[in-house]
A and B are shown apart, each in its own frame.
Chain A
Amino acid sequence: MSIDITQFHQIFFEESFEGLDSMEAALLELGGGSEDAELINTIFRGAHSIKGGSGTFGFTEVARFTHVLETLLDQMRSGQREATRASVNLLLESVDALREMLTATRDHSAIDAPRIADLIARLEAMLGHEPTQATQTKSAPAAARTQGWRIRFRPHADILRTGNDPVRILRELAGLSNTGDMRVQVDLSAVPGWDSLDAEACHLGWDIDLHGNVARAAIDEVFAWVVDEADLHIAPLENAVADVAVEADTAVTGELVVERRRSEDRRQGEDRRSAAPAGDASSIRVGINKIDALINMVGELVITQSMLGQIGDSLVQDGTQAQIEKLRDGLAALERNTRELQESVMRIRMLPISFAFNRFPRLVHDLGGKLNKQIELRMSGENTELDKTVMEKISDPLVHLVRNALDHGIETPDVRIAAGKPPVGTLHLNAYHQGGNIVIEIGDDGAGLDKQKILRKAVERGVVSAAEATGLSDDKIGDLIFLPGFSTADVVSDVSGRGVGMDVVRRNIQALGGSVEVRSQAGQGSSFIIRLPLTLAILDGQLVRVGEQIYIIPLVSIIESLQARKELINSVAGMAEVYRLRDDYLPVIRLYRLFNIQADTEDLTQGLLVVVEGDGQKAGVFVDELLAQQQVVIKSLESNYRRIDGVSGATILGDGSVALIMDIPGLIRLTNTPPQAVRKTA
């Protein structure tokens, strides 16, 4: 039987990328002056498992590179070398290189060989230097040394199925000893008869006497991956009687259990998986408490349902008022449970925002160095949860805002000192929930927005007239920076300020149904506040009818609905219509005309005006009738068709028909386009 090893590639890559992330985080902490020995162990473990995995799968370049890396890390771990700034930076670079190599390997594209060779050379150059003896021993476990060890190794039957090879472990053990003196005795007592022999199970055990000066930590390292899949006793040779149990160094949390189950599930579902193209599949880790809540909920739902079924049956025979009452109660319970179930399911897709925040320590570290600025990054609310899809889409805008804050916001130390501020600037990332939204704040204590400069630029670009400029409020001035092609940076740097700027940020955020605003105070700093919906999967909608068509207007966009009064309707230049609502003039959007369909009435006073707001602009949408309000599940039109102007998606109504969801900002933009297009379709 041949095993297609490529089915495990996906898992390997996922785990390697996660390993690289934690290596990076630990390196940054190490660079920050922390002297925790566990940090180096974390980094070492990351490199070690990537080396092992890439060796197994035959990714020789990756394995060779990680080997050099591992050697350097090993010296640090054993205290022979101190973690200097130079070595941490080199290691960070190596992490980047590894990430690229893995990406290239996964996508079957070419590896940047010269760069890797250069890095290997630099790593080896560092290794070649006589390692400086560390002032203190950074790794405590390395201290325990004896003249040899007796190891009792009894793998569980399924150890081979988890991809571990005992023979490889034995070989590695033999390599540890400086004298190479190792005696192994095999224990055959567990081997069953021929008829019950399972060729894929491991029935053997080993007793190993390892002689020589070997660190206990080194042995633990060899067995690190199998401690959960084997009975293991390690004792010094001198007193082999006393059994010292190996303790697993990772705390086994519920989270980990799920993780392991997940990978088992994957192996079982290998047929389905192999059909999917590599690199496309995505998975999320889920806390076990969330799954439990979900399962409980479903259990209750099933009970409620069977209860309803029984009541329904008896009702057919003799329906009394009391029974009907019961049925109503049951239905109410069903509805409540269903809603909670839906929320629980939605929560499965939610991840803490730390997934997006985690890249910033590195970014700030690198950029701070490049810009010669001293920056302290503070993060709060990292556990605030939001939908995975929203998270993926908000990452890039966040990076952009952070880069901007570092480049334009926070000043260089000398400027800061001159302004009477501490030389170290602070960048604060904060996230919290507010209503059905998540709010992300990116604040700095830098120079703040230069209002005069922005105004000058705005006038220069013809965005506002000089007369208008004088009357603008601070809020409005802040808003100007979100206009296309607006960059106030004096020098276009490679950090930010390439002209593709805040307008893209704002557009991306708006595409997610969110908003962004800036608050700034000269000399005190500025902060960007992003509001996003928690999920893209559902929204509260108002169903409206135009002729035979039913459309959905997101409830968040609706301000009010009203019946138009004739005397308040005005037309502008004979084409556009406006409706006077208190002190505002609202442009009227006649949906039937815009969408070219038949409406019940074209008389504004006969239908309803739904007052909506999008992009800070208000408008009145003219519809025939308001129907129910309900929560709708958003379906994509683009997966089979394409984007439609003024429509953000579609949903399926209770009767199975499809209704389009209005994109209010898009609708307002559509109305603002030259009127010819509208006229022609009318």
Chain B
Amino acid sequence: MTQAMTTTERVSSELQRGGDVASNQFLTFSLANEEYGVDILRVQEIKGWTPVTHIPNAPAYLKGVLNLRGTIVPIVDLRMRFNLDAIDYTPTTVVIVLSLLNEGRERTFGIVVDAVSDVLNIAPTDIRPKPDFGTVVDADFINGLATVGEHMVMLLDIDCLLRPDEINAIASVGE
């Protein structure tokens, strides 16, 4: 746990140095032993998990809403969004607060992930296009794949992942 916290702290301090960050930087996090990455410029902050307010009749992966300094921010459980096994939230469970662009508007969303891993420099040339997963996996929200050391990192298209119409569509199916 201590180690994970220091990772979070280190990443947070990297975030604060944000000014000189080139856009090739990605924040990576783990989710069921898989590594994912998001464009670091989209990351607003990283915070620990705190209880949220339930939203009626929302899709299950939308855990609820949170008060982030006066703004109401929806929180999505990424494991549930990807149909992975849900796990209990632990002290290392973190919420990554992202800003996304939908329909020309900026929205703030939080995603719950297992743990934050690192900040990586990935050159555009190192990003491979995603393979065709067919219909087995819904891969619309993956921008590309990158190999870092031994690991494969899936780079997420968060605008696509948290589209409001997407959420609406699933909400209506859920009903």
Contact = CB atoms under 8 A, between A and B. Distances in A.
Instruction: Indicate whether A and B interact.
Output: yes
Given A594-B56, A657-B53, A640 B175 contact: no
B74 A597 contact: no
Contacts of B73: 640
Interface in B72-108: 72-74, 107-108
B67 interface: yes
B67 A658 contact: yes
Interface stretch (A57-65, A210-218, A348-356, A643-651): A643-651
A46 B172 CA distance: 53
A646 B175 contact: no
B129 interface: no
Contact of A640 (B53, B54, B64, B107): B107
Contacts of B54: 549, 595, 597
A644 B56 contact: yes
A681 B168 CA distance: 17
A594 B74 CA distance: 20
A660 interface: yes
Contacts of B175: 677, 680-681
Contact of A644 (B57, B66, B70): B57
Interface string B102-126: 0000011100000000000000000
A650 B53 contact: yes
Contacts of B167: 641-642
Contacts of A596: 56-57
A658 B164 contact: no
> Which of A636, A642, A646 has the most chain B CB atoms inside 10 A of its CB?
A642
Contacts of B74: 640-641
Given A595-B57, A597-B56, A642 B72 contact: no
A596 B72 CA distance: 21
Interface string B152-175: 000000000000100110000001
Contacts of A267: none
Contacts of B53: 549, 650, 657-660
A640 B109 contact: yes
Interface in A626-682: 635-637, 639-642, 644-647, 650, 652, 656-660, 677, 680-681
B150 to A, nearest CB: 37
A637 B66 CA distance: 11
B145 interface: no
Nearest to B70: A652
B57 A645 contact: yes
Interface in B43-81: 51-58, 64-67, 70-74
B65 A595 contact: no
A425 to B, nearest CB: 45
A640 B55 contact: no
A635 B56 contact: no
Contacts of B56: 594-597, 644, 646-647, 660
Interface in A572-589: none
Contacts of B71: 635, 639-640
A107 to B, nearest CB: 14
Contacts of A652: 67, 70, 72
Contacts of B51: 657
Contacts of A647: 56
A657 B67 contact: yes
Contacts of B65: 637, 641, 650, 658
B94 to A, nearest CB: 19
A596 B167 CA distance: 18
Nearest to A633: B70
B142 to A, nearest CB: 24
A658 B57 contact: no
Interface of B: 51-58, 64-67, 70-74, 107-109, 164, 167-168, 175
Given A640-B72, A640-B73, 4 more contacts: A596-B56, A641-B107, A644-B55, A658-B67
**Nearest 10 Cβ contacts at the A-B interface:** A595-B56, A658-B53, A641-B74, A640-B107, A652-B67, A650-B72, A658-B67, A640-B108, A635-B72, A658-B65
Interface of A: 549, 594-597, 635-637, 639-642, 644-647, 650, 652, 656-660, 677, 680-681
13 contacts: A549-B54, A594-B56, A595-B54, A596-B57, A597-B54, A635-B70, A637-B65, A639-B107, A640-B107, A641-B65, A641-B74, A646-B56, A650-B53
